[in-house]
A and B are shown apart, each in its own frame.
Chain A
Amino acid sequence: MNFTSFPRVSINFETSHLVFPTLISILLGILLLAILATRWRAIWGALTTGPHWPAGIDHLRFFGTIALTVLYFLAMPQIGDLFPNEGYGFLIASIPFLFLMSLLYLHQRTRRYIVITAVNAVIAPTVVWYMLSTVFNLTLP
């Protein structure tokens, strides 16, 4: 962008992809400075005193959710690749994922709740898989 004779501007098409990102980055920088200028006390205080990690969180459930989700995402295409274009990757990976997630979130792991969990873990993905993959012919992993 060439501002030599403002307000006239000329934009070179070859480099036009950088114009808007540059403008937005500058704007973002200015806003960041403004935030720092008006709130540096609060920010500095938070950085120096308080704990860097929120205290009293449920570590098992929080990290368990992230770990299971990552495993789930990794497993889906791998399993799906064994049965191309059938959507079984989604189906086979979702059942244990749902079961383990529910188990993780359950507070009283009584026999009754575990059965409910297991039934749900089988039925929900199967229904979704059947509807989307078979009835609507959508591509699933």
Chain B
Amino acid sequence: MTGLFTKLGLAAGLALVTATSGLAQDLPKNLRVVIGSTSTGGDTYQAASFVADAISKHFGINAKVDAVGPTEAFKAIARDRRGTTIMIHHDQSYLGHLYGVKGYEDIFATYKIGPTLTINPGNAYLVPKKSPYQSISDVLDAAAEGTRVRVAIQPGGVSEIGFSALKNAAKIKKPGSEKNLVPVNTGSQADKDQLLFDGQADVINGSVQSNEQYTRLPEDDQKAMRFIWLTAAQETLDQVNEAGLGGTSREALLQYATPKSSVTLDGEKDFTFDKDFFIIYNKDIDPALVEAIDAGLKEIYAEGAIEKSMKDAFFVPHFMPSKEATTYLEKKRDDYRKVIEAIRE
């Protein structure tokens, strides 16, 4: 019976401790930050840990990032109305829905959108260094002339949206030519790179971070690549450190982005895609909590330390409080919906 008493006593003691510590009515003492990625080496984890660390310090709480992946992350915040679990994800969360990927709902209807946090400006398209395509307009020209161009992407989201924009631009340039841009559906960055090495793709989706060193290899190396397009907006790239990344300066990166490398959205404006990271809450979360996090983040970003660490890691800080963020992301969603619908066969 001793065991029973010990355990009852322990349970009661624990209950008392938590009950009293829960009295302070701001942020939960233990905040679980779930992310829509299962990787702890990827950009989502990195972005989330910048923010979780800053929130932990600012509010004196323990915020912990759990890489549970999109399905489980959505489930976790759907269950938790108290706001002890929040989610950090990027544009995939609504692009997945636009592309009709299983497991993605309309986040604007099902959840509450929190503040935006940061942008990864690195989304890029590359060709082998020996490729005849010198720029993204060469690719569009080739498609218009009837050449089949194979583009390796991961379907159903962030990796596909640039490809959809390319098809859209090809259609505007010469209706019907978008059929010459064919997707090679694949998975990880390694798989996309491999398709380029094998000659099974002419263009691949990649990123400045993971592919920059390949662009510095000599041309006779089978692995050598060349950037032809960055999807980030000019304003975004302008905020990147001047040194850029690795051996490629900001100046050089800007050559591959709009307006110098242009992929049109509607014949006038250029298409851009900035990969935004933002918080997603349970629909019924206490508005006071949303306010508190907005206010806290505002102070954190004003202090500037987070800005430096983000920029060092090739992220662009981009804080917008919840309300503005919702409008901003809805606008983004509407733009991309148009692109995706325009090329739907």
Task: Say if the two chains contact directly (CB < 8 Å).
Answer: yes
Chain B positions 218-246 with a Cβ under 8 Å from a chain A Cβ? none
Cβ–Cβ contact B7 & A95, under 8 A? yes
Cβ–Cβ contact B7 & A85, under 8 A? no
Cβ–Cβ contact A122 & B82, under 8 A? no
Residue total for B at the interface (Cβ-Cβ under 8 A): 23
Chain A positions 78-102 with a Cβ under 8 Å from a chain B Cβ? 82-86, 88, 91-92, 95-96, 99
B14 lies within 8 A of chain A by Cβ: yes
- In the complex, what residues of B have CB within 8 A of residue A13's CB? 155, 185
- In the complex, what residues of A have CB within 8 A of residue B3's CB? 95, 99, 114, 117-119, 121-122
- In the complex, what residues of B have CB within 8 A of residue A110's CB? none
Complex Cα distance, B17 from A86, in Å, reads 11
Complex Cα distance, B17 from A92, in Å, reads 14
- In the complex, what residues of B have CB within 8 A of residue A35's CB? none
On whether A96 and B14 interact (CB within 8 A), knowing A85-B31, A137-B64, the answer reads: no
Chain B positions 148-179 with a Cβ under 8 Å from a chain A Cβ? 155
Complex Cα distance, B32 from A104, in Å, reads 37
Cβ–Cβ contact A84 & B84, under 8 A? yes
Complex Cα distance, B18 from A85, in Å, reads 11
Cβ–Cβ contact A85 & B28, under 8 A? yes
**Cβ 8 A contact of B14, one of A83, A115, A121, A139:** A83
Q: 8 extra interchain contacts, Cβ-Cβ under 8 A, other than A83-B18, A118-B2, A121-B7? A: A83-B15, A84-B28, A84-B84, A86-B18, A92-B14, A99-B3, A117-B3, A119-B3
A-B residue pairs in contact (CB < 8 Å), sample of 26 = A82-B18, A83-B14, A83-B15, A83-B18, A84-B28, A84-B30, A84-B80, A84-B84, A85-B32, A85-B84, A92-B14, A95-B3, A96-B7, A99-B3, A99-B7, A114-B3, A118-B2, A119-B3, A121-B3, A121-B7, A122-B6, A122-B7, A137-B64, A139-B32, A139-B64, A139-B66
Nearest 5 A/B pairs, CB to CB: A118-B3, A85-B30, A84-B84, A95-B7, A83-B18
List residues of B whose CB falls within 8 A of some A CB: 2-4, 6-7, 10-11, 14-15, 18, 28, 30-32, 62, 64, 66, 80, 82, 84-85, 155, 185
